[in-house]
Amino acid sequence: MICVPITEDNVEDAVKTANSIDCDIVEIRLDYLEDASKIDFLAKIKKPKIATCMPKWEGGRFGGGEEERIDILLSAIDFCQYVSIELGTSEKLRGDVVKKAKEKGVKVIVSYHDFKSTPSRDEIIKILKDEETAGADIAKAAFIPESASDVRKIMSVIGDKHIWIPVIVIAMGELGRMSRARSLLMGSYLTFASSGKGKESAPGQMSVQEIRETLKWLKK
């Protein structure tokens, strides 16, 4: 699946972009919105949705308190098919999100982002396993590679026998750019693509058109 993060700063533009972009699923970046309290706007978005409210400490934009952030996510669960919560969130607050999501039949993505480096392969596996233990239906991990071997290491965990749930594994930045398309062919649950230039939510993110063109080239 190709997922487009919606990075608009107001709900009107967020709804318009989400409904017009040609993709399989959208990630609603609630941390980008000037006012994310009126969450019922999500009902106007017809595509499958991932609700995300990423805090500044994980590379996002939400600067409020943790309880406020979790309240936003808990409200969003009523309108979405997926909710994404960071592994670094306190166990209690993360548990509140997981509990409500499971009750509502909403799939949980537990995520981890490292915008500085790439750990060992064993550590990547441990992170994904920790996410599974935390209640993830889908485990997500994103890293900044410092070499081509780092990219290969990140991609190599897709399909690892020690991980029993679907994974989203991302090599960010320019070094990992091509792997964003290649990961889909290797079995990653989805890949993220921007709605257009200047709308990227992470370094190295391709546009939807670029992802599709790259996939065609890789399949030749």
CA distances 208 to 12, 49, 156, 193, 199, Å, are: 21, 16, 24, 5, 11
pLDDT tens figures, 101-125: 999 999 999 999 999 999 999 999 9
User: Domains (ranges, CATH) in the chain?
Assistant: 2-219 (3.20.20.70)
Burial group, residue 25, by CB count within 10 angstroms (0-12, 13-18, 19+): middle
- Residue 140 is a catalytic residue: yes
Binned at pLDDT 50, 70 and 90, residue 41 comes out as: very high
Looking at residue 215, its pLDDT comes to 94
With tokens 């209690």, the residue in question is 92
User: Which residues does 105 contact at the CB level (< 8 Å), separation at least 6?
Assistant: none
Please tell me the pTM assigned to this model.
0.94
- The residue annotated as part of the active site, out of 47, 140, 162, 199, is 140
Q: How far apart are CA 31 and CA 69, in angstroms?
A: 9
DSSP state of 189: S
Choose the weakest-confidence range: 65-79, 137-151, 194-208. Answer: 194-208
- Asked if the model's pLDDT at residue 198 lies above 80, the reply is no
pLDDT at 201: 82
Confidence category of residue 9, pLDDT binned at 50, 70, 90: very high
- Structure-block tokens of residue 89: 């969130």
Which residues in 119-128 are b (16+ Cβ under 10 Å) and which e?
A: beeeebbebb
Q: Which of 92, 113, 153, 162 is catalytic?
A: 113
Does the active-site annotation cover 113?
A: yes
